[in-house]
A and B are shown apart, each in its own frame.
Chain A
Amino acid sequence: TQLLEQSPQFLSIQEGENLTVYCNSSSVFSSLQWYRQEPGEGPVLLVTVVTGGEVKKLKRLTFQFGDARKDSSLHITAAQPGDTGLYLCAGPGGGSNYKLTFGKGTLLTVNP
């Protein structure tokens, strides 16, 4: 079974600070996705990383896929209260390219 471990589980910071959250596995993934989920809503796709070592930027968010495609990180620069939410990583598992395996997420709170 391919598992995705996310850390930290909870993170509370002040507006303007930088942060990094992590997604790790002992298994190789062909791709990883990052989602953000707000309370009472569904996950919203932020990015998909496919190539080992790949770095993608989305405004103040920087996503990196590990060289061995077993881990990924999300770095947020100058966090804002609007970044508050549950950040989930996910990847195809169970021997398929469509069945997403999710981590339990990092719950980020950015205080004004």
Chain B
Amino acid sequence: NAGVMQNPRHLVRRRGQEARLRCSPMKGHSHVYWYRQLPEEGLKFMVYLQKENIIDESGMPKERFSAEFPKEGPSILRIQQVVRGDSAAYFCASSKGRSSGEQYFGPGTRLTVT
């Protein structure tokens, strides 16, 4: 499967726990984007990363959320001390270059905070 891969597909966490969401971009893509889809809302940009660098995190909540894209391995979106309002679908997209026109999305991780 040469597409964007995300895991886990479903994640249940209790309030206060940590959530780690992983994303492996398409082969040959070095640009990764994270989006969040809240119930009744559209997809919202969170963060844009290239290998080992955060390029734009303007859409990310300032506290409890962090993202990385190490030299080796998948991109990780980490949410510490989760709250019920973090329940959402989190999507990762990748592109070959820095362009909005060629972003390909993964299947998403559905996070439920109980």
Binding site for B on A (CB under 8 A): 31, 33, 35, 40-45, 48, 50, 88, 90-92, 94, 96-105
The reply to whether A31 and B107 form a contact with Cβ atoms under 8 Å apart is no
Q: Mark B74-94, 1 if CB is under 8 A from A, else 0.
A: 000000000000000001010
CA distance A2 to B42 in the complex (A): 13
The reply to whether B42 and A104 form a contact with Cβ atoms under 8 Å apart is yes
Binding site for A on B (CB under 8 A): 4, 6, 31, 33, 35, 41-45, 48, 56, 58-59, 91, 93, 95, 98-108, 110
Residue in A44, A100, A103 whose CB lies within 8 Å of B45: A100
Residue in A42, A43, A92, A96 whose CB lies within 8 Å of B56: A96
The reply to whether A98 and B106 form a contact with Cβ atoms under 8 Å apart is no
Residue of A nearest to B98 (CB): A98
Question: How near does chain A come to B6, taking the closest CB pair, in angstroms?
Answer: 8
The reply to whether A100 and B35 form a contact with Cβ atoms under 8 Å apart is yes
Residue in B6, B41, B56 whose CB lies within 8 Å of A99: B56
Q: Given A96-B56, A105-B42, decide whether A42 and B107 contact each other with a Cβ distance below 8 A.
A: yes
Question: How near does chain A come to B17, taking the closest CB pair, in angstroms?
Answer: 23
The reply to whether B101 and A48 form a contact with Cβ atoms under 8 Å apart is yes
Extra inter-chain contacts (16) besides given A97-B100, A99-B59, CB under 8 Å: A33-B101, A42-B6, A44-B105, A48-B101, A50-B101, A88-B43, A92-B100, A98-B95, A98-B98, A99-B33, A99-B56, A99-B100, A100-B43, A100-B45, A100-B100, A102-B44
